[in-house]
Every structure is written in C-alpha cells, then in structure tokens.
Amino acid sequence: MCGLPVQVVCRANAEYMSPSGKIPFIHVGNQVVSELGPIVQFTKAKGHSLSDGLDDVQRAEMKAYMELVNNMLLTAELYIQWCDEATAAEISRPRYSSPYPWPLSNILAYQKQWEVRRKMNAVGWGGKNLEQVYEDVSQCCQALSQRLGTQPFFFNKQPTELDALVFGHLFTILTTRLTSSELAERIKSYSNLLSFCRRIEQTYFEDKSS
C-alpha cells in the first residue's frame, strides 16, 4: 500500500526468527522489525505513512478500530484454531507441526496450544464457547461494516493502516480451511466487507503478480 519494494519469503520457523516471537516481521538491511505496530512506526520514520492525511480525531478513531480488530478478530482466530479441540486436532496441530520431525513436532504443537490457551484465560476468553466467540466476531464485523459504509476504504478514498489490518484478518478467515465454515459465513453476511476484501486483493495483490 505504501508502494515500497518488498519480497515475501515463507519460512516454517518464521515465529522463531521474529524478535517478539510473532509474525509478520520485516528484515531491512541489518534491522529486524516485528508486528504491525512497530513496522508502521519504522516505515513512518523512513517517510512512508498511510495515515498522514488524517486529522487527530480520525487518527484516534483509526487506532480505536485497530484495537477492536486485535481484541476481537485476532483473539477469535486464535481461539478457534487452538481452543476448539476438533479444529486443533484435525487442522492446527498437524499444520503447525508439519515442518518438524517427531517427537519435536508433537512437543511444539502442544506447547503452542498451551500458550494460546493460557493467553485466552488471561484475556477472559477461557470460559467462552464457540457460539459466544462467533457472536463476538459478528459484533466486530457489524461495527466495521457500519464504519466502512459505501466508502471504498475506512477513511474514504485512500487506505490506512486500519484497512491493511482488517484486510489481513478478513482475508485470512475467508481463505483458511477450518473444520467449520461458520467463522467465514459470519463475515460473508456483510457484503461491503466482502467487496472491500476483493477491492484490496485486486488493487494491491493481483496486479502486482502480473
């Protein structure tokens, strides 16, 4: 979205290469910067920012919606992948452990599941059931849908960091195989969010590969 040259590299051990243990991260020269917030600050320090055109009120609103996405969508994705035992057993543990030899594969997968479940307890999601999580996702999508309205992007005609964050999560949910399609179906009920995802995919991804 900033028009910067970037090469995407897939690594099975990406989270272990990241300084914070989380992805995504960027490698620029001899610097490694992980997670969206620090990456945004890093590119801004280099003179590239998507939100320069926003005033202080809009900037505060953007940050509030980004918090909503991180608190709801990200947490819901982790919950469904690792706290729903059917999904964890059939998809998440096999997928997570696939690059590693046995028994390391099993150890790392169960360690990841334990870490996520500990986080869920810490943020008050440990006692939730799937239906409550789906409902949280629906409420988050409703808020995003109302904010987007008929605009091409959340703050009218140009994308901001919020657009990048929302697209990343919605596109992942829509394209990742799970044991149930319910999470994706909740998003599909908001036609403007679907159009938003298609718009960003066509503008920033499909054209780049051609």
Q: What share of the chain is helix, strand, coil (3-state, %, to 5)?
A: 65, 5, 30
Residues 115, 29 share a domain: no
Domain ranges, residue 194 = 55-206
Question: Residue 158 — very low, low, confident or very high, per pLDDT cuts 50/70/90?
Answer: confident
CA distances from 132 to 91, 119, 178, 184 (A): 21, 17, 18, 15
Assign 100 to helix, strand or coil.
Answer: coil
> For 98-151, what is each residue's pLDDT tens digit?
888 889 889 989 999 999 999 999 999 988 998 999 999 999 999 999 999 899
Question: Residue 182 — very low, low, confident or very high, per pLDDT cuts 50/70/90?
Answer: confident
What confidence score (pLDDT) does residue 57 get? 93
Q: Which two tokens stand for residue 49?
A: 């920012």
What confidence score (pLDDT) does residue 165 get? 93
> For 37-96, what is each residue's pLDDT tens digit?
888 889 888 888 888 888 899 999 999 999 999 889 889 989 998 998 888 899 889 988
What's the whole-model pTM score?
A: 0.87
Percent pLDDT > 70 in the chain is: 98
Mean pLDDT, the chain, integer: 88
What confidence score (pLDDT) does residue 210 get? 42
Residue 87 lies in a domain: yes
Residues 36, 63 share a domain: no
Residues 35, 75 share a domain: no
> For 1-17, what is each residue's pLDDT tens digit?
888 888 888 887 788 88
Residue 41 lies in a domain: yes
Q: What is the DSSP string of 33-91?
A: EESHHHHHHHHHHTT--S-TT--HHHHHHHHHHHHHHIIIIIHHHHHHHHTSHHHIIII
| Other beta carbons less than 10 A from residue 70's beta carbon | 14
Residues 80, 171 share a domain: yes
Assign 166 to helix, strand or coil.
Answer: helix
Is 80 exceeded by the pLDDT of residue 206?
A: no
Is 60 exceeded by the pLDDT of residue 208?
A: no
| DSSP, res 156 | B
Residues 178, 127 share a domain: yes
Residues 102, 35 share a domain: no
Residues 41, 74 share a domain: no
Q: For residues 126 and 114, give the distance between their C-alpha atoms in angstroms, rounded to a whole number.
A: 12
CATH number of the structural domain spanning residue 162: 1.20.1050.10
Question: Residue 209 — very low, low, confident or very high, per pLDDT cuts 50/70/90?
Answer: very low
Assign 19 to helix, strand or coil.
Answer: coil
What confidence score (pLDDT) does residue 207 get? 54
Contact 78, 120 (CB under 8 A): yes
> Which of left, alpha, beta for 21 (phi over 0: left; psi -120 to 50: alpha)?
left
- Tokens 């099993």 sit at which residue? 106
Contact 149, 195 (CB under 8 A): no
- Domains identified in the chain, total number: 2
Residue 50 lies in a domain: no
